[in-house]
Structure 1
Amino acid sequence: MALQTRPKLLRVGVIQDGRIVEEHHLLHDSVTIGDDARNTIVLPPAQERPPRFKVLENRGQQFHLIIDEHMQGRINLGSSDVDFDALRAQGLATRRADDTFDLPLQESARGKVDLPEGTLFFHFIPAPPEGAKPALPPELKASPWRTVDRLFAGILLAMLGLYVLSVAIIAAQPAPVEAEVELDQLEDRFVRAIIPPQPAKVEEPKKEGPSAEKKPEEKAPSKKPTPAASASAPANSAERRQQVEAKVAGTGLLKLLGGKGPGDGDAIADVLGSAGSGANVAEALAGATSGGALALGSGGGNGIANPQGDTGGKVAAIGATQTSGAGAVDTGRKQVVKVPQVADSVPEVDSSEVSPKELARFIQRMKASIQRCYEKELKRDPTLKGRVMVRFNLKPDGRAGNVEVEESTLRSEGVSSCIITTIRGWKFPFQPSDDVPVSYPFIFSPGE
């Protein structure tokens, strides 16, 4: 049974200044060079080389060397070592229709291609065994020391050394010994906080003799209410009620109602007028109303006078339109409230799909929101008035786009920005096939 040989890999690389700067191991992929980023090996632009040139092409599981009329290099075919001029002159390479030369390569072939930027080399190497991981050459392997910034590492080590040294110096120093403070050296408030004052003890006098001996306390016998005690309870309640009435009668309004005036008359009668002492409150106030209005007088009495009698006072009813002797009340001139106005106009529409009248009718229905913008700024400047020309594009979805103030004599940025924001939120009842330019003037006046 014949052993199946593993296919060989094509090793391709670039040599610059005597060292390999780029290397690839390929099994079936072709090798292209040029300044295009999709090439296998990217080189700087050159006039004699296209952006993408296939120098090693894999066809039918075999690599072919592709060279043009100007490329230079050498190749070893196993038995002989020839340059590219000999390949082209001796017919070893087949000339193709695009003026390039094709040379099939055996697995023993190896060679190099001279480039302005360096040298492109190629040869075949055995494929690694299955399961083996590809490893980079030792010169390309990264090490931790190569990837670390040496200047930064040096500064970091120096700072770490200084930190360790400072910690060691601090640890070597003896700890400071704090001097003990005597209690008499502390302030009084600290002493009171440490040792709270204790209450003074009261010494009881000592008792001498047999009487000083403690005797067990005798429980007083519980007294049950007797019939005589229960009979005297109502009498005590009546007495307490009389005492309370006597105290209340001499205070507040009760003192006035039950008191005596001059000449042993009622005090309330003296307050209400010259009625007799036998007149009650209802009789004294019987004539206090006249036609549903309360009358106030300045007669001989000290209180309310009867308006029907001749007291010599002036009477004024509460329901009257004016007070006696005060004259007519001046209520001032009537003021007319000015209502801000937004005048209606006809829009300018550059399309036959949108009716100017229908558009004007819609804007007039939405005019209240524009008027709110004007009233808000009118509170700051009552003399604000003028004309604002708004221009926008009516879009196919019924919205307003590119809303801007084309001309304004109002001199108010607040009103202009509010109008633009308001119109952007409108949904117009039109759906034109394309954007329709619209111009609409708003005329603002504070009213008359």
Structure 2
Amino acid sequence: MAATPQTKLLRVGVIQNGRIVEEHHVRRDSVTIGHDARNTIVLPSSEERPARFSLLENQGQQFQLVIDESMQGRVNLGSSDVDFDALRAQGLATRRGDLYVLPLQESARGKVDLGDVTLFFQFVTPPPEEAKPVLPADVMVSRWKTMDRVFFGILAASLFIHFSGAALIISAEAPKEAELALDELDDRFVRAIIPQRPPEAAKPADTGPAEAPKEDAKADEPKAADKPAADKPAGSASEQRAEVVKKVSGKGLLKILGSNSGGGQGAFADVLGGASGGGDIAAALAGAGGVGVATEASVGGGTGPRGGGAGKVTGIGEVGTQGGGKVDLGTKKEAAVQGRVQDSTPDVESSDVDRNALARYVRSRLKSIQSCYEKELKRNPNLKGKVVVRFTIKTNGRVGDFEIEENTLGNEAVGSCIRTTIRGWTFPFKPDSDTGVSYPFVFSPAG
């Protein structure tokens, strides 16, 4: 049969030495007893009673009486009184594990004997809501009569003037600024906008045709050797040629590479070989594939005059070198960084979770917390400090809410890694309700 919603309040009290010492009126919340401070009724600590026990539960807008095998008491079901032993023996209460559950109607009442104290419960009609007092009509006045009319008039006029002025400013067109010509600007602005050009250097006076550059004269000197021999004395032709070769060998690229004429050695010959001329260069280039030394026969055949005729194009081919070696760059190794993690006794809000057992459980998994710290210690060798985490252990042993209470490391990555690690744990504790835990960790470099 479906439970009917209860409209009355549940009255629960504590009787001690024949007097009512505590009383509560409950509408929808469940009633719990025990020595835990969060219970509805806090009782003295006893080995026979648990720290938290739900005596009257609100399920589906109907209260249920929950008792165990050892509880004694009586309950009135409307027609007769029945003790707890009869409830358990006659099957009037539904069994739920080690407990017995009895749905209560609004006419039910009873008591529970707990040794030194006695709990009673019954349903009572809620008191009627008190109506708010209403003043007489001749006493009540309107707000317009109590308002300062002079102040209100000044305020309204001020608001009207300010808003009207703002509307005129917004609707008016912005004034156009006329552009000034350069001749209308002040001299100091003109100097700032148009920088003065530096004075030009005076051109030298034209004294006549300029002398030919020396390099042109030197360039014309070899041409003198090409003049017909008839214009020069026959005996001095070889001397003039030797003088021209000597002058050319000391200029430009020929000066760097060196010249074999006259027995001199250049820088190129010093690098590639000895004093034997082109043969040494060919020997030095013997290890390069596709490269050869040009000879007089390969460039033009040697029959025509130098500098003329049709030459041959020689392909470079695939240039290859002989020999080679290896360079061992070594293997990159990651430096070993170790950190030290210390913890202390945690702060647990409920006696359902043993703090020493919780500390042993966390210490067995302290390596995962240490790895979170060592990842960031590689980036900052001076990283050290304290991290205090606060989380809740649910009734199934999983982690609920999680937050970082304190972090003196100055590194958020360590706290984020610890949050991910602890959220994956399943604790061997099954508290009656969510239990808050505050756990500190102290990190420092091992070295």
Same fold flag (TM > 0.5): no
**TM-score, normalised with respect to structure 1:** 0.28
**TM-score, normalised with respect to structure 2:** 0.28
